[in-house]
Structure 1
Amino acid sequence: MKLVHTVAELREEVAIAKSQGLSIGLVPTMGALHEGHASLIKAANQENDFVVVSVFVNPTQFGPNEDLDAYPRTLEADCKLAEKMGANVVFAPSPAEMYPSVDATWVEVTGDVTKVLCGRTRPIHFRGVTTVVTKLFNLAQPDRAYFGQKDAQQVEVLKRMVKDLFFNLQLRIMPIVREADGLAKSSRNTYLSAEEHTAALILSRSLQAAKEQYATGERDAAKICAAVTASIKSEPMANIDYVEIYGLPELTPVTNPMVGSNLLAVAVKFGTTRLIDNVVLEDK
């Protein structure tokens, strides 16, 4: 496996792979890799001949007073995990390498898909995501790109971008990976104290209860949200940002009664750490 830091180096590696007729899988990450990322890299390795993993803490998706400076940076450990899972190249650029112009060029998806949920309180976040992912798509020229369902709104935003900009690639969306106690894997879990970690287990328990509520016939979105909200509020350390349901795809307003596929998403703070989680409610 090779570690490269510049656009020129990555382009050279991609050109060699393309010249050999190899299919390319891309796994974009912000580093601090965990088992969730490992599952993406493993899937990319199984489905492609050549795998690029990007490790880049993207400054443009962080708003004022967010955790850009404190975000964990563990490149050496990331490279070891990426290599173990089958990556061929780790691309770890600097911010100046990825944003060479003082006046940046942006790629932005508009509409409800970027305005609800996290987009309501993090108005620049998804513009930063779509811009950096576009750059990575252009550089790695992947046949397939891998993302996790935990970031469900990001997934829907990227689906729209890929469709609207005619990217010639397949988005592969992989299931949420959870710790043994049910907490969704996240790089931000390292911020949690032991007490906050235990408190945060209310998220997966509440979502599972909602899934069971739906399975037994409940189709009133307001009632499901109310039950999840009450459950999370029963944990004194939880500070709710949102508990909401939207229709899939594209996070459309939910119908009542609910039909088709719907996303139940939550964002909750434990101490200073904001966690997100979700479950899809649909009839099998």
Structure 2
Amino acid sequence: MKIFKSKSNLKKYISGKKALEKSIGFVPTMGALHKGHLSLVKRAKKKNDLAVVSIFVNPTQFDNKEDLEKYPQTIDNDIKLLESVNCDAVFIPSVEEIYDSSIVAEKFDFDGLEYQMEGKFRDGHFDGVGTIVKALFEIVMPTTAYFGKKDFQQLQIIKKLVEKTHLPIKIKGRPIFREDDGLAMSSRNARLTKEHREAAPFIYKTLKKAKKKFGIENANSIIEWVENEFKKHPLLELEYFTIANEVTLKSDEKIDPKSKYRAFIAVYAGEIRLIDNVGFKRKNK
């Protein structure tokens, strides 16, 4: 596996492969890799001639400086994990390499997708996401890029980014990887205390119960039920729970039987913020 730290060297490598008509599968990450990340790399490898991964903790998508400073970084272990799944190349740039002298996010218009859910609670987050993903896409110019559905809103925003910038890249979302107890895999899970780690599976259990109610009860009553469940929990604090249209990410007042819906949740387990989501299907009456 080749390791690159400079944009110019990576571009030269990619250009050489593209001259040989090789397809490039790309997985952007912030490191602290887990099985979910590795599943994306395996998929990129299976569907393309080359699998390329980036590891970069992007400062412009953090609205909380402390969260940025404490974000887990495990580069040596990440490299070993990528080698174990036959990744072809990894790009590990410095902040200066990506942003030069100005660590500032571009402003984007994602047709309103950025104002839902995460956008309401994390100021400027999706401008930061758009900035780094666009920069990485322009460096790697992959055939296809792969993202996990745990960050489903991010996935929809990246699809919109590609549509608006006319970049010739396919975007593929892949299923959420979960621990045996249901907790969605996340790099932040490593920062959970023992007590909060034991409590965290309650998030997915609640989502599954809410899913069973969908189509039987109305959306508002399901939301109220979820909020009450978390009010009773001594260790987990609900930030938001919403049921939204998968395409618009808006909470429809009336459920359209022809549309797909998804429940989105953000929860604090102590200082650690966890997100998750599940697809909802309307039951036939």
- Secondary structure of 2:247's counterpart equals coil
With structure 2 as the length reference, what TM-score do the two structures score?
0.94
Point out the more displaced range, 162-171 or 142-151. Answer: 162-171
Structure 1 14/163 Cα, relative in aligned 2: closer, same or farther at 3 Å? Answer: same
Is 2:75 the counterpart of 1:75? Answer: yes
In the alignment, what sits opposite 2:260? 261
- Secondary structure of 1:185's counterpart equals coil
Aligned with 2:236 (options 222, 235, 238): 238
User: Could you give the per-residue CA deviations for residues 118-168 of structure 1, whole angstroms, max 9, x where no partner exists?
Assistant: 111211111010110001111111110000000011011111111122121
Unaligned 5+ residue runs, structure 2?
none
Spell out structure 1 runs of 4+ moving beyond 6 A. none
With structure 1 as the length reference, what TM-score do the two structures score?
0.95
Deviation at 1:64, TM superposition (A): 3.7
| Pairing of 1:265-276 with structure 2 (within 5 A) | 265-276=264-275
- Secondary structure of 1:252's counterpart equals coil
C-alpha separation between the residues in 2 aligned to 1:43 and 1:103? 32
- Secondary structure of 1:178's counterpart equals coil
In the alignment, what sits opposite 1:248? 246
- Secondary structure of 1:173's counterpart equals strand
Is 2:2 the counterpart of 1:34? Answer: no
In the alignment, what sits opposite 2:49? 49
Kept in 1, the 8 Å contact 2:108–2:130? The answer is yes
Deviation at 1:105, TM superposition (A): 6.3
Deviation at 1:234, TM superposition (A): 2.8
C-alpha separation between the residues in 2 aligned to 1:234 and 1:139? 48
In the alignment, what sits opposite 1:223? 221
Unaligned 5+ residue runs, structure 1?
none
In the alignment, what sits opposite 2:208? 208
Is 2:150 the counterpart of 1:150? Answer: yes
C-alpha separation between the residues in 2 aligned to 1:209 and 1:6? 48
Kept in 1, the 8 Å contact 2:116–2:250? The answer is no
- Secondary structure of 1:25's counterpart equals strand
| Pairing of 1:169-208 with structure 2 (within 5 A) | 169-208=169-208
Kept in 2, the 8 Å contact 1:112–1:252? The answer is no
Deviation at 1:116, TM superposition (A): 1.7
Alignment RMSD: 1.6
Q: Which amino acid is the alignment partner of residue 140 of structure 1?
A: V
In the alignment, what sits opposite 2:280? 281
Structure 1 59/105 Cα, relative in aligned 2: closer, same or farther at 3 Å? Answer: closer
C-alpha separation between the residues in 1 aligned to 2:103 and 2:221? 47
Deviation at 1:258, TM superposition (A): 4.6
Deviation at 1:107, TM superposition (A): 5.0
Fraction of identical pairs, as percent: 39
Q: Which amino acid is the alignment partner of residue 80 of structure 2?
A: K
Deviation at 1:111, TM superposition (A): 4.2
